[in-house]
Amino acid sequence: MSDRHTATDNIIADVMANPSPAKSMGDPGITPLSPSHIQHTNTEQVQSEPLFEVVVAIDFGTTSSGYAYAFIKEPECIHTMRRWEGGDPGVSNQKTPTTILLTPDRKFHSFGYAARDFYHDLDPSESKHWLYLEKFKMKLHTTANLSIDTDLHAANGKRVKALDIFAYALAFFKEQALKELSDQTGGEFDNNNVRWVITVPAIWKMPAKQFMREAAYKSGLVSRENPEQLIIALEPEAASIYCRKLRLHQMVDLGTQATHNGLSPTENVGSGMAQAKEHVRRNRQSRTFLVENVIGELWSELEEGDRYVVVDCGGGTVDLTVHQIRLPEGHLKELYKASGGPYGSIGIDYEFEKLLCKIFGQDFIDQFKVKRPAAWVDLMIAFESRKRAAAPERTNPLNINLPFSFIDYYKKFRGHSVEHALRKSNVDFVKWSSQGMLRMNPDAMNTLFKPTIDHIIQHLFELFEKPEVSNIKFLFLVGGFAESSLLQQAVQNMLQGRSRIIIPHDVGLTILKGAVLFGLDPSIIKVRRSPLTYGVGVLNRFVEGLDSEEQFVLNRKNNKRHQQLDKTQEDTDQVKVSQSLSLVKRLIHMTPELQSFHLHWLLLFILEFCNKDILFEV
């Protein structure tokens, strides 16, 4: 046997428990392999961490985004971003809308409030040439075959590369953060001294997470030569890390009969959050949050093995993670793989759009969005402020201003007035006001919330039925949507006192602050659950009458071979962070093109012949 064949008799590939997602590599083909022997090792690999001066976390949300940072030498001080110019009445501007505006020649113009306000002020005839995008993050969750060539649609219907848009957004935050750091330190701050953290939903598939890393490379946030400068943090994990630090005065406790923050057991959910918001408003002049170098009073109640759930309710998705505390270090162990779905607050926006279609017609709404895109944005902004005012105890109507261009365009489109359309629509809970407003009674708004909240409650119910999710001590409700008292009440009714429901003050910044803490100490998460089953395609001798005719291929000699998946990691297996798996394979034959073959490519490739109901390519 030649030296070449001797050297390649055994190929050993180490696959990390939390590998970076595979890039699109085309079809590497299926190499005939003999049955495998899997060796599991529990040794934790210690990697030398580069030294950074500051950690900057970017919470890239579906509806709003922002950044926060902490200097390595002052880890107890988390600074949130500067106040954004612009804003909406009754809506906090501690973040900025995830909106981006490109010029007619597709150059970056602005992001956030600046993009939205500039677009709003454009003449209607001019605005249709500009590319305005919002809520585009959901594309990464909903696209089945996500790639670097995936497109997004702007408000005017034009297509633009998703990678370009995400890169523009990250470059914007890089510029803003570095400028603020330079002002803080009195000199130009070097990007090489920054460890960046980007938050993503835990339920995202690997290609979506890798897409964010590719966007970071393209934006200049980090380089491919220094990938460890960027950490992709899971949103519910970040929230969990921050909740460890909570003091009693920094939260609302909805799940206990004891008095907290001045709340008695008879006070309702809405009044509790009202007090929390007032506390936040009084302290909002300071952008620095002090995080004590000890665990919070709430966390001190946890004992070894105690379990809790983090429910991250964002604009686009809802993420649920189950953690168990490990003492004495306080490390976290994931008990059940992250779950959830597209149940974020934008689902309420879609219900509102469906209501408008029912009243004014699908054809009109479709045309109005294309012909008057800026006015459509105005209408949804008006709805957003009213959406935030919805509450279980509300009795007075919610008024939504209709843009003049909506009223005018509808009359030209239909030949009759908006008021006439409302009378003929048989939608009793929406009335017309002579001041140019839609008047929605509280039941109407609650109806818009119901489908989204029902999805969340159903998922929570199914999660709590799992054996791994028994005896839950706390449920942390975080994310911007967690401010909704309608959602809070629904969660309370579902749990019926089984767990204490904790809502941090300023829930919209919980993930952001937790992401900074995670960047300061990534080792806090010790054990995760494998989200997928990984394996290698194996070709065995085909046995007539025993093997399925649907699962055979012809080898190079036109002999039948049976395909099967040789599993290396089962779905839901517990895996230590940095744990490796050693996989030993023997190649039946070696061809020149396989001399530099990397086996870990195969480990991230689940074969098409497997049951497509449960397995797919990653």
pLDDT on residue 510:
92
Given pLDDT bands bounded at 50, 70 and 90, which one contains residue 570? low
Query: Is 585 buried (19+), middle (13-18) or exposed (0-12) by CB count in 10 A?
Result: buried
* Residue that has been written with the tokens 């004495």 in this structure: 328
Does residue 559 belong to any structural domain of this protein?
Answer: yes
| Domain membership of residue 546 as a residue range | 3-47+534-569+578-603
Pairwise CA distance, residues 176 & 221, whole Å: 12
Q: How far is CA 568 from the centre of its chain?
A: 28
Smallest CA-to-CA distance from 333 within 320, 319, 321, 346 is with 321
Reported as a single tens digit per residue, the pLDDT across 360-382 is 999 999 999 988 888 999 999 99
Q: Tell me, what's the pLDDT at 327?
A: 65
pLDDT (average), residues 72-88:
80
Pairing of strands 230-234, 194-200: parallel
**Verdict on whether the full-model pTM lies above 0.85:** no
The pLDDT-based confidence of 539 (bands split at 50, 70, 90) is low
Band the pLDDT of 28: cuts 50, 70, 90: very low
Q: 373-387 and 404-414 are packed helices; what angle lies between their axes, rounded to 10 degrees?
A: 120
DSSP codes joined into one string, 412-437: HHHSS-HHHHHHHTT-TTEEEETTTE
Alpha helices, DSSP H only, in 312-372?
Answer: 346-360, 362-371
Sorted by sequence, the CB contacts under 8 Å of residue 577 that are 6+ apart come out as 17, 18, 44, 523, 525, 526, 527, 528
Average pLDDT score over the chain: 77
Contacts of 319 (CB under 8 A, 6+ apart): 201, 202, 203, 234, 235, 236, 310, 311, 312, 338, 339, 340
Say how far apart CA 68 and CA 91 lie, in whole Å.
19
Q: What is the tens place of the pLDDT at every residue in 484-523?
A: 999 999 999 999 888 999 999 888 899 999 999 999 988 7
Q: Which residue has the tokens 């950044």?
A: 67
Q: Is residue 42 part of a domain?
A: yes
Q: CA 317 from chain center: how many Å?
A: 6
By residue count, the chain amounts to 618
Residue 565 has which token pair? 């998946």
Evaluate whether 177 touches 81 at the Cβ level (below 8 Å): yes
User: Is a pLDDT exceeding 60 seen at residue 90?
Assistant: no
169-205 CB burial, b ≥16 within 10 A, e <16: bbbbbbebbbebbeeeeeeebebeebbbbbbbbbbbb
Residues 469-501 as b/e (b if ≥16 CB within 10 A, e otherwise) read beebbbbbbbbbbbbbbbbbbbbbebbeeebbb
- On whether residue 214 sits in a domain, the answer given is no
State how far the Cα of 181 lies from the Cα of 303, in Å rounded to an integer: 39
Is residue 544 one of the residues assigned to a domain?
yes
Query: Do the strands 99-102 and 131-134 form a parallel or antiparallel pair, or are they unpaired?
Result: antiparallel
Q: How is residue 92 written in tokens?
A: 């906090």
Whole-angstrom Cα Rg for the chain: 27
Is residue 428 in a domain? Answer: no
Residue 594 lies in a domain: yes
Residue 25 counted as domain residue: yes
- 318: exposed, middle or buried (C-beta count within 10 Å: 0-12, 13-18, 19+)? buried
Q: Which residue has the higher pLDDT, 362 or 574?
A: 362
In a domain, residue 552? The reply is yes
Does residue 472 or residue 11 have the better pLDDT? 472
How many distinct structural domains can be found in the chain? 1
Q: H-helix or E-strand containing 534?
A: strand 534-541
Distance, CA of 271 to chain centre: 29
Express as a percent the part of the chain with pLDDT over 90. 46
